[in-house]
A and B are shown apart, each in its own frame.
Chain A
Amino acid sequence: MKIAADVRRHLTRHLGPLLPIVGAVAVGFGVCGLIALWVGLSPRLMFQQLMIGAIEGPQLFETVARAVPLVGMTLAAAIPLRAGIVNLGADGQLALGGCAAAIVALYLPAPDLVRLGVALTAGMAVGSAYAALAAAGEIYAGVPLLLSTWLLTYPAKGLCGYLVRSPLRDPSTAWPSTARIAVGSRLGSLLPGTPVNQGFLLIALLAVAVIFIDRRSSVGFELRLRGLNQRFARYGGVALNRQTLGVMLASGAIAGLVGAIMVLGSQFRYTDGALTAPQYSWSGTLAALLAGGEPLGSVIAAVLFAALQTGGFAMERSVEIPRVLTMVLQSIVILFLAMRGAIWKRS
């Protein structure tokens, strides 16, 4: 009897917070099923294809490959969210990071390995610096990050779009893109025959580092403190402005790194719009929101969302349901949770 009670208490403590999430996911699937039904498609077939398409055979590696940038963008969103800050400009930082990495990988006269290292670093540095602009705007002029980060994405994407149309354009392709990056400056394949590249290791390492810092370091503690109660954090001696800057530098660096990894590991050139088209930053933001910015939970949510996206491709191919429905599903889950106040209670 006592053991049963213990088990139950244990379960409610650890699984209790998950219940609303499970409920919201059920609602999301329900609504998407209804939408499918409304446009005259079979929901059963839709969900079947979604599941199979995400994990069956080689599709599993597709999901892993997709999870790499998605987990990265999730971490970029989760770090600020942990402190109650929203970075909506990850797309701009991603594009600039990818573009900078491509430029270095194409034009830096240096040995292969050095060039690769500098390209990755350049991606991080550029993403970081661009995110810092928004932080400076809030610190010195009180422009809310929510607004400035979002508005800054347009000039960033515009600049990259211009660069690959005019000065960096590879005339041999039909797309506005840079030349192809030489094999030596690419991130190699991790599992030959699959789309998984060495970027997997970088992002895995990063995820472990972020989880460790969040749980075990004073930096992580101060972040969580601010997320729980900003005024108390200030009272407790957290330098809020410096923290804002640090958070944005880190978030932008990660977004830039993801851009660099996508360019150096899978696309091998910077093509206008190709980094932002899969909407990793949006899925990442939603995944991080789902887990309240807690890094491990965010990573798990990101992997699930990656599976959902991969499944979406299979669904689109086999039953001709547009895969953008998976975006609808993701946003409904977060919307429902936020409306119920199950996550992100109003402060």
Chain B
Amino acid sequence: MSQNRVSFWAGVRAEFPLLIAVFPFGMIYGVLALNAGLSPLAAQAMSAIVFAGSSQFITAKLVHDQVPGLVIALTIAVVNLRHMLYSASLAPHLGSVSMRWKALLAYLLTDEAYAVAINEYDRNGVTPSSHWYLFGAGLALWSTWQVSTLIGILLGATLPSNWPLDFALPLTFIALVIPALKDRPAVAAALSAGIIALAAYGLPYKLGLILAAMVGIALGTFLEGRK
């Protein structure tokens, strides 16, 4: 039992530096979700139901633009595709835990929880209590995300409505995308997607966004394959 507890707290501790970055991100989401016209309850519920940062930002924006629900759901699916990779990467380390644990850990599987868990498993291997490590990291992130969303919602209700708060969305995405531009295929993926998004801006239901993303992903993958 106590080994489980040690593993749990080690996961929480490893997650801590990431929480400092996630906290303002959650607050900005809360502010933007209200700004986009979501009710406080819906804004908070999305942090529990979807529980995936960038896709929540995008959903708030698309809801604001009155895009049909099916297109929004499709966009969420594309943006969150990477979780399948995390799932595949962690699967061999979670082979021996019960189905109940798998169901719980899958819910808590985010970029940030994955990052610290895979680092731990690669370094120290798998022990009978190592799923508690992922549980600790995931739960720490989950709690932080819920609380920071709530603070953002409370804050958002008090900010003057003439501030250009919606501009925080492209700014946040710029901050996320720049570090990802590590090589030519990544730059090509980004630029082609951006240009297609402009060219296809007039398409109905914001389908230009999905089209642009698909072209960018395809071009990046093609260029990477040729190397």
Verify that A and B bind, or say they do not.
no
Residues of A within 8 A of B (CB): none
B residues sitting closer than 8 Å to A (CB atoms) are none
